[in-house]
Amino acid sequence: MDEESRIAAVSEVPEDGSLLFTVRDGFDTEEAILVRLTDGVVAFENYCPHWRDIRLDKGSGATMREDELVCEKHGATFEADSGACTFGPCEGAVLAEVEVTVEDGEVYLVDDRYEFEKRGPSGDHDLSSGGRIGFSGQ
Domain boundaries, the chain: 3-119
Question: Mean of the pLDDT values across residues 113-129?
Answer: 78
Q: For residue range 3-17, what is the model confidence (pLDDT) as tens digits?
A: 999 999 999 999 999
Could you tell me the CATH superfamily of domain 3-119? Rieske [2Fe-2S] iron-sulphur domain (2.102.10.10)
Q: For residue range 81-91, what is the model confidence (pLDDT) as tens digits?
A: 999 999 999 99
Is the predicted pLDDT of residue 131 greater than 80, yes or no? Answer: no
- Which pLDDT does position 67 carry in this prediction? 92
- Residue 56's contacts (CB-CB under 8 Å, 6 or more residues apart) are 18, 33, 44, 46, 47, 48, 62, 63, 69, 71, 95
Query: Within 13 Å, how many C-alpha atoms sit on residue 61's CB side?
Result: 12
- Which pLDDT does position 135 carry in this prediction? 34
- Residue 85's contacts (CB-CB under 8 Å, 6 or more residues apart) are 49, 76, 77, 78, 91, 92, 93, 94, 95
